[in-house]
Structure formats: structure tokens, C-alpha cells
């Protein structure tokens, strides 16, 4: 402010103080003009500039505060998400363990079922073999018996005469009669 008044005083005490005219010295007039403009800007613009800077400062502080609040909220959500992720990982591990256990149980069940089925097939096979062996033995026995009877009949027919045949029949009838007496 002092500069502005000094500038006006300087104009009043100009060497040609009694007359009014143009100053052709460009440097001196520019300095005076700049001093006047700066003085007016400082005098009137100080409050406006101060208000603008204050508002700007307040907006910046509010932005920083909002950013810090948002950052805090984001960190809180991040921690919640991490905790949830930990729980999900634990549940997934438990699920895997349970599923692997279930798979092992099913595998053992299938193995046991396969062994039982194989055992049943083996028993069925052995029974079939025994039945077939018994059939074969019976067939062989029947053939042998048939051949033996045919051979015995052939031998008897060739060796037996009518008289010997009648004596055997009489002896058998006598044995049957004795057996009947024993029963009654």
C-alpha cells in the first residue's frame, strides 16, 4: 500500500509539476502502471483470493478426509473378504476330505462287492462242476451196471440149463417164504 501512495506522491512531485502532459518514458510509466495494478489487485483481490484459497483448501481437506474414509471402508471390506475367503478355503478343504473319504468308502464297497460276486461265481462254478461230475459218474455207473448185467445175463444164459434154472427159482421162492414168516 505504501508503494501505491509513493507512486502518487512521485507523480505530484514530477519535475513538470505545474503542467499536465504525457510521459514518453516507457519504462517509468510501465512501472507506475504495474504498481497501480498490483496495488489495486492486492487491495481488492486479497479477500477474494483468500476466500478462493480457503475454499480450495477446504475442498482438498474434505477430499482427503473422504478418501481416507473410503480407504478405511475398503480396508474393512478387504479384511471381511479375506476372512470369508479363509472360511471358504476351510469349507472347501473339508468338502474335499469328505469327498475323498466317500470315494474311498465307495471304492472299498465296490471291491468287497466284487470279491463277493467272484466268490459267488466260484461257488456256482464249483457246484456246477460237482453236479456235472455227479451226472457223469451216474452215467458211467449206469453204463457199467448195464454192461455188467448184460454180461451176467449172457453168462447165466450160456451157463444155465433148464434144470439149474428151476433149482435157483425154487431156492429163491424158499428164501422169500422164510422172509415172510420172519416179518409176521
pLDDT at 19: 57
What's the CA gap between 10 and 2, in Å, rounded? 12
pLDDT at 20: 58
What's the CA gap between 138 and 61, in Å, rounded? 112
What is the 3-class SS of the chain, one letter each residue?
Answer: CHHHHHHHHHHHCCCCCCCCCCCCCHHHHHHHHHHHHHHHHHHHHHHHHHHHHHHHHHHHHHHHHHHHHHHHHHHHHHHHHHHHHHHHHHHHHHHHHHHHHHHHHHHHHHHHHHHHHHHHHHHHHHHHHHHHHHHHHHHHHHHHHHHHHHHHHHHHHHHCCHHHHHHHHHHHHHHHHHHHHHHC
- CB neighbourhood size of 68 (10 A): 10
What's the CA gap between 122 and 119, in Å, rounded? 5
What's the CA gap between 44 and 46, in Å, rounded? 6
pLDDT at 12: 47
- Tell me the pTM: 0.38
pLDDT at 132: 94
pLDDT at 163: 82
What's the CA gap between 167 and 170, in Å, rounded? 5
- Using CA atoms in the order 117, 122, 128, 129, what is the torsion angle rounded to 10 degrees? 170
Q: Are 39 and 4 in contact (CB under 8 A)?
A: yes
All three cell numbers of 4, joined, read: 501505491
Residue ranges of the chain with pLDDT lower than 50?
A: 4, 9, 12-14, 17
pLDDT at 63: 93
pLDDT at 5: 54
Amino acid at each position: 500500500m505504501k508503494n501505491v501512495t509513493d507512486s502518487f506522491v512521485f507523480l505530484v512531485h514530477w519535475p513538470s509539476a505545474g503542467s499536465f502532459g504525457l510521459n514518453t518514458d516507457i519504462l517509468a510509466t510501465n512501472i507506475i502502471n504495474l504498481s497501480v495494478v498490483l496495488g489495486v489487485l492486492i487491495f481488492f483481490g486479497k479477500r477474494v483470493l483468500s476466500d478462493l484459497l480457503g475454499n480450495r483448501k477446504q475442498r482438498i481437506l474434505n477430499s482427503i478426509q473422504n478418501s481416507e474414509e473410503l480407504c478405511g471402508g475398503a480396508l474393512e471390506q478387504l479384511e471381511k473378504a479375506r476372512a470369508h475367503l479363509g472360511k471358504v478355503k476351510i469349507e472347501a478343504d473339508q468338502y474335499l476330505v469328505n469327498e475323498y473319504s466317500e470315494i474311498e468308502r465307495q471304492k472299498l464297497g465296490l471291491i468287497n462287492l466284487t470279491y463277493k460276486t467272484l466268490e459267488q461265481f466260484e461257488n456256482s462254478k464249483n457246484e456246477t462242476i460237482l453236479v456235472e461230475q455227479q451226472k457223469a459218474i451216474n452215467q458211467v455207473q449206469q453204463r457199467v451196471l448195464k454192461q455188467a448185467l448184460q454180461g451176467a445175463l449172457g453168462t447165466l444164459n450160456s451157463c444155465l440149463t433148464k434144470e439149474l434154472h428151476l433149482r435157483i427159482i425154487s431156492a429163491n421162492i424158499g428164501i422169500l417164504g422164510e422172509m415172510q414168516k420172519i416179518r409176521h
